[in-house]
Amino acid sequence: MASEQKGTGGNGREGDRKSAILRAAVEVFATKGYHGCRIADVAKEAGVAYGLVYHYFKNKDELLQSVFHQGFETFSSKLRAVVESDASLAEKVRGVAEFSLDIFRDDPRTVRVLILQIARSTGNRGLNRHSAWADLIRLCVEMFQKAQERGELNPDMDPVLAAATLFGTIEMGLTAFVTGLFDAQDPEVLERAKRQLATGFLTGVLTPQSGAELEWNQDRSDTRLKTAKRS
Amino acid sequence: MASEQKGTGGNGREGDRKSAILRAAVEVFATKGYHGCRIADVAKEAGVAYGLVYHYFKNKDELLQSVFHQGFETFSSKLRAVVESDASLAEKVRGVAEFSLDIFRDDPRTVRVLILQIARSTGNRGLNRHSAWADLIRLCVEMFQKAQERGELNPDMDPVLAAATLFGTIEMGLTAFVTGLFDAQDPEVLERAKRQLATGFLTGVLTPQSGAELEWNQDRSDTRLKTAKRS
Amino acid sequence: MASEQKGTGGNGREGDRKSAILRAAVEVFATKGYHGCRIADVAKEAGVAYGLVYHYFKNKDELLQSVFHQGFETFSSKLRAVVESDASLAEKVRGVAEFSLDIFRDDPRTVRVLILQIARSTGNRGLNRHSAWADLIRLCVEMFQKAQERGELNPDMDPVLAAATLFGTIEMGLTAFVTGLFDAQDPEVLERAKRQLATGFLTGVLTPQSGAELEWNQDRSDTRLKTAKRS
Amino acid sequence: MASEQKGTGGNGREGDRKSAILRAAVEVFATKGYHGCRIADVAKEAGVAYGLVYHYFKNKDELLQSVFHQGFETFSSKLRAVVESDASLAEKVRGVAEFSLDIFRDDPRTVRVLILQIARSTGNRGLNRHSAWADLIRLCVEMFQKAQERGELNPDMDPVLAAATLFGTIEMGLTAFVTGLFDAQDPEVLERAKRQLATGFLTGVLTPQSGAELEWNQDRSDTRLKTAKRS
DNA sequence: CATGAATGAGTCTTCATTCAT
DNA sequence: CATGAATGAAGACTCATTCAT
C-alpha cells in the first residue's frame, strides 16, 4: 500500500483511458466521419463512460484536434527529418514516399482520418490544421527551391507546384489504399507503390541530367529502367 | 398591386428560382461545408423562402447531389471526350490538365465543393458519388492500360496507380488554387500550371521512348525543354 | 377562403402561440422556478411543440427576460405615471401601494416570478434587470428628493433610503401574499393591505402617543429614544 | 517526503478544511449564485480537492443549508434576544436595525447569500429555510401583537403586515448596501442608515407637518386623505 | 408556386455524485 | 482524511423536414 506508486499508477491509468478514448476516436472518425459519429460512439468504442470523454477533452472538436495532432506530429517529424537531411532530392522524395506509406501501413485508421476528415476540412476552426499543413508544404517548397538552385529540379517546374504535386501524388496514393482501390493487406503492393510513386514523381520533375539514371525497379535487375545518357 | 408580381415571377422564373438555389448551395457549401451550413443559409443566400428549397429538392442531400451532378457532368463528359479520343497518351493527359483547370477557372466554387466536400465524403450515401468517381477512375485505368499495351506507359507503372496519381496531381494542383496557395486570378499562372502539371506527370510516367521529346514550355521557344534522343 | 386575412390571421396566430408560450413560461417559472423547470415544461404547458419555443425565443434566458419585460413594463409605466403626477408625496405613495397590489391581484403569477425569480437574481446577465430596477429606484429617489425640498419628506430621511424602503415595504408586502402568509383570495385583505402599507410607510407604525417625538438624529448626544407625550 | 505533511495537516486542520469550504461556499454562492456555481468552484476557492467537499457535506444542498444555518443562527439568536427583552417596541425595532446592519458590516458575503440566494428560494427543499424564516416572522408578529395590546402599535396596523414590512424595510436596506446603492465601506453611512431605517419604520417618512393627521381607516366614509395641519 | 410557422428526434454538454486508491 | 478519475442522468439547443395557408 505504502509502496503504491501513485505517479505510475495514476499516470498509467490516466494514459490508458485517455489514449483508449483517442484510439476509439480514430476508429470511429475513420468509420463514420466526424459529423457522422456521436460522442457516445467514441465512449462506447473506448469502453468508458460518456462523461469521461469530457473529462479529458473539452469537446468534440478538441478530440478531433487531438487525433489530428497525434497523426500530424508523426508525419511532420518524419517529413522534417527527411527534408532537412543532406540527401539528394531524389533520395528525399523516395524517403517521403517511404515513410508516408509506412505510416499508413502501421496505422491506416489515423491516416484515413487525416486524409478524409481533416486535411480537407473547411471548418472555421480549421485554421490550425490548415496552417499546419501549410507549414509542411512550405517546408517542401523550400526543399524544391534549393533543389532547383542546385540544378536538381527542372528549372521550368514551379517549386510550389512541385510541392503541391508531391503531396497530391502521395495523398492520392494513400487514398487509393484508404478507399480500397488498392489492396492494403499485401506488403508487396505497398512496397511497389512506394517505388512507383516516388519514381513516377521524380523522373518527371528531375532534370534529365540528374534524373536520367534513376531506376524504376530495384528488386529485379532485368526490369530496370535503362536510360542512357544523353549525347 | 393589381399587376401581381408574384404570379409573373412564379411563372416566368421557374428555372431562375431553382438555379438560384443551386447556385446559392454551391456558394454556401463551398464556404461553410455541407455539414456546417443549414438549409436556411442556402435559402437566405438564394433570397428565397425557407420551404422553397424543399419544393425543388427532396432534401438536403439531394441538393448536394445536384450540385455534385452539375459539376460532375461537366467534368465527366469532358474527361470521356478526351479519353475516348484517339490522341496519344501525352495529348490526353495534357487535355485533362487543360480542361480541369479551365473548369476551375470558370467556376471555382463548384470545384471547391467537388474537391472539398464531395470527393472525400465517407458518408453512407456517398455510394453514388464514390461509384461515379470510381467510374471515371476506371475509365482512366483503361486508358493507361491500353497505353501500356501500346508501349506509351512505362511497363513498370501500375495503371491503377497511374490513374490515381493523375487524379492526385490534378486535384492537389486544384487544391493549391482552391486554398489560395496559388493566385487564381492570374490567367498566366493558370496556363503555366496546366503545362507543368501535365508535363511533370508525363515525363515521369511515360516510357523514355515515347516521352523523350516532350517539351516543358510551349509558349516561348527559348525556354523549351530540349531533350535530345537517347543514343 | 379568398377573404382570408393573411395579415390578421398570421399575426393573430403568431401572437397566439408566442403569448401562449409566454404565459406558460410565467406559470412554470412561478411554480418551479427558473432553474427548476425545463423548456419542455414550458412547451407542454403552452401546448406547443418543443422547438417552437426556440422559434420565438433565442434561449431559455431570453424567455425569462421576456417574462420580465412584460411584467416590468406594466409596473414601470404605472410607477412613472404616479411619480410624474403632481399629487402630494402621500398620494403618490398611496398610489404606488394601490397599483402594486392591484397588479398582483390581477396577475399574481407574473408578480411571483418578478419577485422570486428575477428581482434577486445574481446572474451575470442580470445587468439589464438590475439596471432596470435601478432606473425605477432612481425615479423614486428623485421623487423623494423633490418632496424633501418641498418639505414633505422628513429632512433627516435619506431619499435613497426612503426609496429603497418603499420598495422593500411594497415588495415584502407582496411577498407576504406570494408566500401565502396572507390570504390573497380575499379582496378585503388586499384593500386593507394597500392602505396599511402606504400609511405605515408614511406615518410609521407607532401610535401617535408612543412615537410622536422620536428623534431622527442622535449622533452626538445621548442615543436614547426620547419619547414625549403629545400635548 | 518522510515528514508527511498530509498527516499533520489532516489531523490538525479538521476544522480548518471544513470551514474553509464553508467560507468558500459563501464566497462563491455570493458571487455566482447557488445554481450558477459548481462544486468544483467551491473546492477550488477553498483550495481543497474535489471530493473533499463531499467528505464534509452530503451534497450541494446541504452545503447551502450549512451556509444558511451559519448566518441564520447569528441573526436568529440576536433577534430572539431583542424581541424577548422587555424594551419598548421602538427600542426593539431600533435594536433589530442595529444588529442587522452590524451583521452585514461584519460579514456582507453571508448576508448577501441569505438575502439573495436563500430567502427567496422556491425550491422544494426550501421548506426548512422557509419554516425557519417563518418562525422568525411569527416571532415578530407576536411582538407586534403584544405591542398592539400595550398600545404601542397603531391599532389599525395588522401585526402580520407590520412584521412583513419590518423585514422588508430591513432587507431592502441591506439590499441597498449589497447591491452597492449605498457605500458599505463608510461606517458613518451604516450608522445613519440604522437610525433612518428604524425611525422611518417607526414614525413614517413624512414630515410631521404634512403627514400628522393621515387617517388609517378610510373604509367606510370618504376615502379621502384628510390632512389637517397641526394646531 | 411560395411562405415560414410548427414539429421533434438527435446530440452535445454539464455537473452532481460516487468510489477506488 | 484526501484525491480526482469515473459515472451517467438531465436538459439545452439545433436543424432537417413537414404542412397549412
Smallest Cβ–Cβ distance between D91 and the set C207, C218, C225 belongs to C225
**Do C and D touch, counting CB pairs below 8 Å (3 needed)?**
yes
pLDDT of residue B83 exceeding 70, the answer is: yes
Residue A75 has pLDDT above 80, yes or no: yes
Distance separating alpha carbons of residues B22 and B128, to the nearest angstrom: 19
Is the CB of residue C139 less than 8 Å from the CB of residue C66? no
Least-confidence region, from B199-203, C89-93, C215-219, D62-66: C215-219
Please judge whether B165 and A172 are an interchain contact, meaning their C-beta atoms are less than 8 angstroms apart: yes
Q: What's the CA A224/C1' E10 distance, rounded, in angstroms?
A: 59
- Check residue C227 and give its pLDDT: 40
Distance CA B9, CA B18 (A): 13
What would the mean pLDDT of A138-159 be, rounded to a whole number? 87
Say how many C-beta atoms besides its own lie within 10 A of residue D116's C-beta.
Answer: 22
B160-186 average pLDDT score: 79
Task: Using alpha carbons, select from D140, D79, D136, D75 the residue that is nearest to residue D107.
Answer: D75
What DSSP character marks residue B229? P
| pLDDT given at position A218 | 38
Q: B3-45: per-residue pLDDT in tens?
A: 444 444 444 455 688 999 999 999 998 888 888 899 999 999 9
Q: Give alpha helix (H) positions in chain B.
A: 5-12, 14-32, 39-46, 52-56, 60-84, 89-106, 108-112, 127-149, 159-178, 187-205, 208-211
Contact criterion met (CB < 8 Å) for B172 and A165? yes
Chain A hits for B158, CB-CB cut-off 8 Å, are 192-193, 196
CA gyration radius for chain C?
A: 22
Residue D99, pLDDT > 90, answer yes
CB atoms C156 and D182 under 8 Å = no
Name which of A61-70, C132-141, D171-180 the model is least confident about. D171-180
B147, pLDDT greater than 80: yes
Neighbours of D50 (CB within 10 A): 11
- Dihedral sign (CA D115, D119, D125, D129): positive
* Among A75-79, A200-204, B191-195, D103-107, the least confident range: A200-204
Q: Cα(A24)–Cα(A58) distance, rounded to whole angstroms?
A: 16
Euclidean distance between CA atoms A216 and B208, whole angstroms: 12
Give the three-class secondary structure for A206: strand
Structure-block grid coordinates of residue A167 = 503531396
Select from D121, D161, D179 the residue whose CB has the most chain C CBs within 10 Å, as the one to mutate to test that interface.
D161
Radius of gyration of chain A (CA): 21
Q: Which residues of B123-158 are buried (b: 16+ CB within 10 A; e: fewer)?
A: beebeebbebbeebbebbbebbbebbeeebbbebbb
Asked if strand F contacts D52 at the CB level, meaning under 7 A, the answer is yes
Tell if A48 CB is < 7 Å from nucleic strand F. yes
Closest Cβ opposite residue A172 in set B32, B115, B167: B167
Spatial CA neighbour of B196 closest among D113, C96, A168, D32: A168
The pLDDT score that the predictor gives to residue C81 is: 96
- What was the pLDDT predicted at B134? 74
Contacts of A164 in chain B (CB under 8 A): 172-173, 175-176, 181-182
**Residue C35 class from Cβ within 10 Å (0-12 exposed, 13-18 middle, 19+ buried)?**
middle
User: Which neighbouring-strand residues pair with D206?
Assistant: C153
User: Distance between CA C167 and CA D189 in Å, rounded?
Assistant: 20
pLDDT of residue B10: 43
- Which range (B31-35, C125-129, D198-202) has the least confidence? C125-129
Taking residues B60-76, report their average pLDDT.
89
Q: Please determine, for residue C21, whether its predicted confidence score (pLDDT) is greater than 50.
A: yes
Mean pLDDT of all residues in A125-136: 63
* pLDDT in the model for residue C184: 79
- Contact present, A173 and A111 (Cβ < 8 Å): no
D53 has pLDDT over 70 = yes
The pLDDT score that the predictor gives to residue B114 is 80
Cα dihedral B27, B30, B36, B37, rounded to 10, equals 10
Name the phi and psi angles at C150, rounded to 5.
-80, -5
* pLDDT at B13 (0 to 100): 52
CA distance C90 to D210: 9
β-bridge partners, A89: none
- Diameter of chain A by CA atoms? 81
Q: pLDDT averaged over chain B?
A: 76
Q: Per the CB < 8 Å rule, is D199 touching C192? A: no
- Residue B3 has a CB neighbour count (10 Å cut-off) of 6
Concatenated DSSP letters for D156-171? TS-HHHHHHHHHHHHH
Please give the single-letter amino acid code of residue A32: K
The residue among D39 and A135 whose pLDDT is bigger is: D39
B27 CB-near residues (< 8 Å, 6+ apart): B45, B109
| Chain D residues whose beta carbon lies within 8 Å of the beta carbon of residue C121 | 33
Report residue B82 CA to chain centroid gap. Answer: 14
Mutate to test the interface with B, among A29, A127, A156, A216 (most CBs of B within 10 A): A156
**pLDDT tens per residue across span A3-26:** 444 433 344 455 689 999 999 999
Give the per-residue pLDDT at B175. Answer: 74
B121: region left, alpha or beta (phi > 0 left; psi from -120 to 50 alpha):
beta
Show the cell assigned to C230. Answer: 403629545
- CA of D55: nucleotide with nearest C1': F1
Confidence (pLDDT) at D14: 59
Helix locations, D84-149, DSSP H: 89-106, 108-112, 127-149
Among candidates C154, C161, C175 on the partner chain, residue whose Cβ is nearest the Cβ of D176:
C161
**Gap from C139 CA to F17 C1', Å:** 51
Kindly list the partner chains of chain B, i.e. chains with 3 or more CB atom pairs below 8 Å.
A
The type of residue at B156 is D
Contact C164 D152 (CB under 8 A): no
Residues ≥6 apart with Cβ < 8 Å to D20: D46, D47, D48
Torsion of CA B21, B27, B33, B39, to 10 degrees: -30
Contact present, D222 and C226 (Cβ < 8 Å): no
Report percent pLDDT > 90 for chain B. Answer: 23
Three-state secondary-structure class, residue D93: helix
Smallest CA–CA distance, residue C12 to chain D, in Å, is: 35
Closest CA to C167 of C88, C213, C114, C109: C114
Quote the distance between the C-alpha of residue C157 and its chain's center: 23
Helix (H) or strand (E) holding B85: none
Q: In this structure, what are the phi and psi dihedrals at residue B92, rounded to the nearest 5 degrees?
A: -65, -45
Find the Å distance, CA of residue C99 to C1' of nucleotide F14. Answer: 43
Q: For residue D221, what pLDDT band results from cuts at 50, 70 and 90?
A: very low
Q: What local confidence, expressed as pLDDT, does residue C230 receive?
A: 41
> Comparing C76-80, C140-144, D68-72, D118-122, which segment has the lowest mean pLDDT?
D118-122
For strand E, which nucleotides have at least one atom less than 7 Å from a protein CB? 1-21
- Nearest-Cα distance to chain B for A145, in Å, is 16
CA D6, C1' E15: Å apart?
28
Which helix H or strand E contains D87, and what residues bound it? none
**DSSP states of B163-211 as a string?**
HHHHHHHHHHHHHHHHTTSS-TT-HHHHHHHHHHHHHHHHHHHB-HHHH
Model confidence pLDDT, tens digit, residues B109-146: 887 788 766 655 554 344 455 567 778 888 888 999 99
Question: B69: which 3 cell numbers?
Answer: 451532378
Average pLDDT, chain C: 80
Question: Is-contact D213 D226, C-beta < 8 A?
Answer: yes
Which burial class, exposed, middle or buried, applies to B197 when counting CB atoms under 10 A from its CB (0-12, 13-18, 19+)? Answer: buried
Tell me the chain B residues in contact with residue A157 when contact means C-beta distances shorter than 8 Å: 196, 200, 216
Average pLDDT of the residues in A67-91? 91
**Which of B155, B158, B196 is the closest to A157 by Cβ?**
B196
- Interface mutation target, options B37, B122, B148, B179, chain A, most CBs of A under 10 Å: B122
Tell me the per-residue pLDDT of C141-178, one tens digit each, with 9 for 90 and over. 999 999 999 999 998 899 988 998 898 888 888 877 87
The CA–C1' separation of B1 and E1, in angstroms, is 19
Q: H or E segment at B151?
A: none
Asked whether the beta carbons of residue D201 and residue C196 sit closer than 8 angstroms, the reply is: no
The per-residue pLDDT for D120 is 57
pLDDT digits (tens, 9 = 90+) for D121-144: 554 444 455 667 778 888 999 999
d(CA B5, CA D96): 76
Compute the distance between CA of residue D89 and CA of residue D166 in angstroms, rounded to an integer.
12
Determine whether the interchain pair D161/C200 forms a contact, defined as Cβ–Cβ distance below 8 Å. Answer: yes
Cell of A37: 459519429
**Chain A contacts of B217, Cβ < 8 Å?**
156
For residue B230, the cross-strand partners are A230
How far is it, in rounded angstroms, from Cα D153 to Cα D90?
A: 9
Residue D47's pLDDT is what?
93
Angle (CA) A24 A30 A35, round 5°: 95
How close B48 comes to chain A (CA, Å)?
Answer: 25
List the single range of B112-126, B141-155, C124-138, C214-228 with lowest mean pLDDT: C214-228
Q: How far apart are CA C157 and CA D196, in angstroms?
A: 6
Would you state the cell numbers that stand for residue B221, as one nine-digit string?
521557344
Residues of chain D neighbouring C60 (CB-CB closer than 8 A): none
Amino acid at A231: S
The rounded percent of chain A whose pLDDT value lies above 90 is 28
Across chain D, what does the average pLDDT equal?
Answer: 80
Kindly tell me if the per-residue pLDDT of D46 is higher than 60: yes
With bands split at pLDDT 50, 70 and 90, how would you rate the model's confidence at C187? confident
- Which residue in this structure is represented by grid cell 413614517? D204
Which pLDDT score is estimated for A213?
42
Q: What is the pTM of this model?
A: 0.78
Residues facing residue B206 across a β-bridge:
B153
pLDDT tops 90 at residue D58: yes
Which residues of B fall within a CB distance of 8 Å from A197?
161, 165
Per-residue pLDDT for A39 more than 80? yes
Whether CB of D13 is under 7 Å from strand F: the answer is yes
Closest Cα partner for C155 from C141, C142, C145, C167? Answer: C145
Contacts of D217 in chain C (CB under 8 A): 195
Whether A161 and B173 lie within 8 Å, measured CB to CB:
yes
Q: Do A223 and B156 touch (CB under 8 A)?
A: yes
User: Residue B79 in contact with residue B96, Cβ under 8 Å?
Assistant: yes
- Residues C139, C158: Cα–Cα separation, whole Å: 14
| Distance from CA(C50) to C1'(E8), angstroms, rounded | 7
Confidence band of B182 (pLDDT split at 50, 70, 90): confident
Please count the other Cβ atoms lying within 10 Å of the Cβ belonging to residue A13: 10
Most confident of the following: A155-169, C47-61, C195-209, D61-75: C47-61
Residue of higher predicted confidence among A14 and A58: A58
Nearest to C167 by CA among C192, C191, C132: C132
pLDDT-derived band at C210 (thresholds 50, 70, 90) equals low
Average pLDDT over residues D50-64: 93
What percent of chain B has a predicted confidence (pLDDT) above 70?
Answer: 73
Residue A222: its pLDDT value, please? Answer: 38
